[in-house]
Amino acid sequence: MKLAGLLENHTYEIIQGTLNVNIKSIHHDSRCVDEGALFICIEGYESDGHQYIHSAIKQGAVAIIVTKEITIEDPDILIVKVKDARETLAHLATRYYNRPTSQFGLIGVTGTNGKTSTVNLIERILRYSNKKTGLIGTIENKIDDLVIPTEHTTPDALELQQLFAKMVEANVNDVVMEVSSHALDLKRVWGAEFDIAVFTNLTLDHLDYHKTMEAYRDAKLKLFMMADDAVINIDDPVGAYIIENTTSERLLTYSCLNHEADLYAGDIHIDIRGTHFLLNYEGKTYKVDIQTPGRFSVYNALAAIGATLLRGVEIEKIVEALGKDSIIEGRFEVIKSESGYYAIVDYAHAPDGLENVLKTIQEFAKGRVITVFGCGGDRDKSKRPIMGRIAASYSDYTVITSDNPRTENPQTIMDEVEVGVIPLKKPYVRIENRIDAIKHGLDSAQKDDIVLVAGKGHEDYQIIGKTKIHMDDKEIIRSHIQEA
pLDDT score for 44 = 82
Tell me the C-alpha distance between 106 and 223, whole Å: 12
Residue 455 labelled as part of a binding site? yes
Q: Domain of 42?
A: 3-96
Residues 89 and 143 in one domain: no
Residues 379 and 479 in one domain: yes
Q: Give the residue from 70, 96, 122 where a domain finishes.
A: 96
Residues 359 and 289 in one domain: no
Residue 195 labelled as part of a binding site? no
Q: What total number of domains does the chain contain?
A: 3
Residues 159 and 26 in one domain: no
Residue 55 labelled as part of a binding site? no
Residues 118 and 177 in one domain: yes
Domain of residue 360, CATH code:
3.90.190.20
Residue 308 labelled as part of a binding site? no
Residue 117 labelled as part of a binding site? yes
Residue 404 labelled as part of a binding site? yes
Domain of residue 148, CATH code:
3.40.1190.10
Residue 405 labelled as part of a binding site? yes
The HSE-up count of residue 9 (CA atoms within 13 Å, CB side) is 5
Residues 317 and 361 in one domain: no
Residue 102 labelled as part of a binding site? no
CB atoms within 10 A of CB 420: 22
Residue 406 labelled as part of a binding site? yes
Residues 351 and 293 in one domain: no
CB atoms within 10 A of CB 287: 11
Q: Give the residue from 61, 96, 131 where a domain finishes.
A: 96
Residues 85 and 194 in one domain: no
Residues 274 and 408 in one domain: no
pLDDT in tens, the chain (484 residues): 899 999 999 999 999 999 999 999 999 999 999 999 999 999 987 789 999 999 999 999 999 999 999 888 899 999 999 999 999 999 999 999 999 999 999 999 999 889 999 999 999 999 999 999 999 998 889 999 999 877 666 789 999 999 999 999 999 999 999 999 889 989 999 999 999 999 999 986 656 666 788 888 999 999 999 999 999 999 999 999 999 999 999 999 999 999 999 999 999 999 998 999 999 999 999 999 999 999 999 999 999 999 999 999 999 999 999 999 778 889 899 999 999 999 999 999 989 889 999 999 999 999 999 999 999 999 989 999 999 999 999 999 999 999 999 999 999 999 999 999 999 999 999 999 999 999 999 999 999 999 999 999 999 999 999 999 999 999 999 999 998 7
For 432, 461, 463, 470, the CA distances from 467, given in Å and listed in that order, are 17, 10, 6, 10
Tell me the C-alpha distance between 345 and 452, whole Å: 6
Residues 308 and 189 in one domain: yes
Residue 113 labelled as part of a binding site? yes
Residue 200 labelled as part of a binding site? no
Residue 403 labelled as part of a binding site? yes
Residue 356 labelled as part of a binding site? no
Tell me the C-alpha distance between 347 and 9, whole Å: 42
Residues 311 and 384 in one domain: no
Residues 380 and 277 in one domain: no
Q: Give the residue from 283, 298, 324 where a domain finishes.
A: 324
Name the pairing type of β-strands 274-281 and 263-271.
antiparallel
Tell me the C-alpha distance between 109 and 307, whole Å: 9
pTM: 0.86
- Nearest in space to 356 (alpha carbons), one of 424, 270, 432, 234: 270
Residue 459 labelled as part of a binding site? yes
pLDDT score for 152 = 66
| Sheet bearing 450-454, strands edge to edge | 333-336, 342-346, 450-454, 369-373, 397-400, 428-430
Tell me the C-alpha distance between 74 and 64, whole Å: 12
Tell me the C-alpha distance between 362 and 293, whole Å: 11
Domain of residue 24, CATH code:
3.40.1390.10
For 58, 62, 63, 71, 210, the CA distances from 74, given in Å and listed in that order, are 11, 10, 11, 9, 40
Residue 379 labelled as part of a binding site? yes
